[in-house]
Chain A
Amino acid sequence: MSKILMKGNEAIAEAAIRSGCRLYFAYPITPQSELIEYMAKMMPKVNGTFIQAESEVAAINMVYGAAGSGKRVMTSSSSPGISLKMEGISYIAGAELPCVIVNVQRGGPGLGDIQPAQGDYFQATKGGGHGDYRLIVLAPSSVQEFADMASEAFDLADKYRNPVMILADGMLGQMMEPVEFKPAKTDAELQELANQHLSWCICPNADGDKKHHHEINSLELDPQVLEKHVLDLYKKYAEIEKNEARYETYNVSDDNEVLCVAWGTASRVVKSAINEVMKEGKSVGLIRPIRVWPYPYDAIKQAIGKNVKKVYVFELNSGQMVEDVKIAVEGKVPVDFWGKLGGVVFTPAEIKEKLETCF
């Protein structure tokens, strides 16, 4: 299939449908509106369900119902809307339901603005909703990767029965890049996907004599039983941490004197800056977490060669990822941070200037 020029918001929607998503519930918000509009246009053509919900809260609870019925389901929003969804996300994690949530981040806090930002890192990776739970969080840095993450996200959600968030931003949502799609799931594959959850989900009882009573639930009043449930969740999360961390290395070598860590849109700017400082004979590498939970601590630890004098974190927030980088670096070298806030995106020249001060 040839490449098509598409906005990230449209590409993720198309890729989700190709991945077998036939249920989508959401509420309009900038800068993700092209996503909900694309779903409104395309879902009827594949006999799928599109509902513009009355609120973000209703949308995520529709997701809870559909995910509890064992079907591939997605919602999307931007930062303030994701905050509203957090109640439902906690319930979905507690009830161990598979679903995909796309966050096209904008500047915050509060109503903030509608420009690209990465200020929801803590919310996505450290909590957001109440209680002890984890989301798997995928962090694309191009329209192609944004689209590719749709099938990855649904597969991870199904495999671990856990909500998966794709943490993009207004830049990735709005910009157009060439994108190539994987073939759409066949009817047979869709049937197989629909059958994989029948042992626990809400579904008709095919065996009339043997009643089934599947409960989709996150309530347990007995503290001992609830503790065991949460411990079981954490066994699952440990498995995810062991198997599912993903990262990209860019120009990482033993010669590196500076190691950068950046994710999503920010990492693209850092790559451009690295290309420039390399021309001056300075060696700078980059680790880009492709997934920000589970976090690639080992990759960062191993990338610190004997010549690295500093680890430099660049983000479009106030430094929310720095804690994770410090855990990985284990105090071996200083960790510095520079970022832009409120929807301002840094330029390669600004990053280059920061990197040059390290030499």
Chain B
Amino acid sequence: MEIIAKRPEALTKEPFHYCPGCMHGVAHRLIAEAIDENGLINEIAGVAPVGCGVFAYKYFNFDMAEAAHGRAPAVATGIKRARPDMHVFTYQGDGDLAAIGTAEIVHAANRGEKISVFFINNAIYGMTGGQMAPTTLPNMKTTTSPYGRNVEDIGYPIRVCELLSTLVAPYYIERVSLLTSADIIKAKKAVEKAIRYNKENRGFTFVEFISTCPTNWGYEPEKARQWAKENMLPFFKPGVFRDKGEGVE
């Protein structure tokens, strides 16, 4: 009998703790598949964030470090510099990467650290219970923007891909969506490219995933995807911002 679908070798058997409809599991699987396909399982290390992805170190079936909030790119820098023969990635959410860890992501990208960063943007803090994120949309209600995000008071959401694209060093920057099956197939290609560039030590690679948080948005998973399609994608437009391998500068 031919096996046509199985658990990637790069995932442990630990069941995910994520809520129904959450997209972290999809993103984990895409990364694990890309690691399998590139034959990297014996020479890769990941860095987990603080946020809903905090237990990522339990799910990936290779060496993992759990970083302090926002510090994953600095921790990954330390690992990559200590073990240049290994390949290193971070997995971070929007609060971790675009608020408390802004300095670390910008400077790791600016140094052109030869690491991959996978960035889940669901416009909210999930783990702590639905507070406003640096990527929360204008007028969007959260537990700490109960009247809606007031851009006059707290500013606009940060577009991280666009921000990092102002730097010279990054090798590959792409924003993808996980909202439909077709989007996930496109996302898989982006993840595979980031991991392949990482394997070839080409430079800093960055993939942002537009995803949802049904629990904290207060929507059914299907409605959450619809909402994200209508509200997030116009503000956070998917696309390739940098791909030095394909001549996109």
Name A residues whose Cβ lies closer than 8 Å to a Cβ of B.
Answer: 23, 25, 49, 51, 53-55, 57-59, 61-71, 73, 87-88, 91, 201-206, 208, 211-219
Q: Give the nearest-CB partner of B69 in chain A.
A: A87
What is the bound-complex CA distance between A67 and B79, given in angstroms?
A: 8
CB distance from A98 to the nearest CB of B (A): 12
Question: Are B77 and A51 neighbours in the complex by a CB distance under 8 Å?
Answer: yes
What is the bound-complex CA distance between A214 and B78, given in angstroms?
A: 16
Q: Give the nearest-CB partner of B12 in chain A.
A: A213
| A and B contact pairs by CB, cutoff 8 A, 8 listed | A51-B77, A54-B106, A59-B74, A64-B71, A69-B78, A205-B43, A215-B63, A217-B66
What is the bound-complex CA distance between A51 and B81, given in angstroms?
A: 10
Question: Are B63 and A61 neighbours in the complex by a CB distance under 8 Å?
Answer: no
Question: Are B82 and A64 neighbours in the complex by a CB distance under 8 Å?
Answer: no
- Give me the 9 closest cross-chain CB pairs, A-B, nearest first: A65-B78, A61-B74, A69-B82, A54-B107, A62-B78, A66-B78, A205-B42, A216-B65, A61-B71
Q: Which of B54-62, B136-144, B185-193 contacts A (4 or more CB under 8 A)?
A: B54-62
Question: Are B104 and A54 neighbours in the complex by a CB distance under 8 Å?
Answer: yes
Known contacts being A54-B107, A202-B86, is A88 close to B78, with CB within 8 Å? no
Q: Which of A66, A88, A212, A219 sits near B81, CB closer than 8 Å?
A: A66
What is the bound-complex CA distance between A87 and B111, given in angstroms?
A: 23
Q: Give the nearest-CB partner of B113 in chain A.
A: A51
* Binary flags per residue of B25-36, CB closer than 8 Å to A gives 1, else 0: 000000000000
Question: Are A64 and B67 neighbours in the complex by a CB distance under 8 Å?
Answer: yes
Q: Which of B12, B76, B81 sits near A49, CB closer than 8 Å?
A: B81
Q: Enumerate chain A residues within 8 angstroms of B66, measured Cβ to Cβ.
A: 215-219
Residue B47 CB within 8 A of the other chain: yes
Q: Enumerate chain A residues within 8 angstroms of B58, measured Cβ to Cβ.
A: 215
What is the bound-complex CA distance between A59 and B41, given in angstroms?
A: 28
Residue B248 CB within 8 A of the other chain: no
Q: Give the nearest-CB partner of B100 in chain A.
A: A57
Question: Are B63 and A62 neighbours in the complex by a CB distance under 8 Å?
Answer: no
Q: Give the nearest-CB partner of A68 in chain B.
A: B65
Question: Are B65 and A205 neighbours in the complex by a CB distance under 8 Å?
Answer: no
Q: Enumerate chain B residues within 8 angstroms of A87, measured Cβ to Cβ.
A: 68
Question: Are A62 and B75 neighbours in the complex by a CB distance under 8 Å?
Answer: yes
Q: Enumerate chain B residues within 8 angstroms of A55, measured Cβ to Cβ.
A: 103
What is the bound-complex CA distance between A203 and B57, given in angstroms?
A: 15
**Interface hub of A57, A61, A204, A218 (most chain B Cβ within 10 A):** A61
Question: Are B68 and A23 neighbours in the complex by a CB distance under 8 Å?
Answer: no
CB distance from A234 to the nearest CB of B (A): 22
Contacting residues of chain B (41-56) with chain A, CB-CB under 8 angstroms = 41-43, 45, 47, 54
Known contacts being A65-B47, A71-B82, A73-B82, is A53 close to B65, with CB within 8 Å? no
Q: Enumerate chain B residues within 8 angstroms of A88, measured Cβ to Cβ.
A: 68, 71
Q: Which of A54, A68, A213, A217 sits near B78, CB closer than 8 Å?
A: A68
Q: Enumerate chain A residues within 8 angstroms of B237, measured Cβ to Cβ.
A: none
Question: Are A67 and B78 neighbours in the complex by a CB distance under 8 Å?
Answer: yes
Q: Give the nearest-CB partner of B110 in chain A.
A: A54
Residue B228 CB within 8 A of the other chain: no
What is the bound-complex CA distance between A291 and B83, given in angstroms?
A: 32
Q: Enumerate chain A residues within 8 angstroms of B12, measured Cβ to Cβ.
A: 213
Known A58-B74, A61-B71, A215-B64; 7 more pairs at CB < 8 Å: A58-B104, A64-B71, A65-B82, A73-B82, A88-B71, A91-B68, A202-B65
CB distance from A268 to the nearest CB of B (A): 36
Question: Are A62 and B57 neighbours in the complex by a CB distance under 8 Å?
Answer: no
Question: Are A202 and B71 neighbours in the complex by a CB distance under 8 Å?
Answer: no
**Interface hub of B67, B79, B106 (most chain A Cβ within 10 A):** B79
Residue B249 CB within 8 A of the other chain: no
Question: Are A213 and B74 neighbours in the complex by a CB distance under 8 Å?
Answer: no
Residue B183 CB within 8 A of the other chain: no
What is the bound-complex CA distance between A96 and B64, given in angstroms?
A: 15
Q: Enumerate chain A residues within 8 angstroms of B9, measured Cβ to Cβ.
A: 211
Q: Enumerate chain B residues within 8 angstroms of A65, measured Cβ to Cβ.
A: 47, 65, 74-82
Known contacts being A58-B107, A205-B62, A218-B66, is A73 close to B85, with CB within 8 Å? no
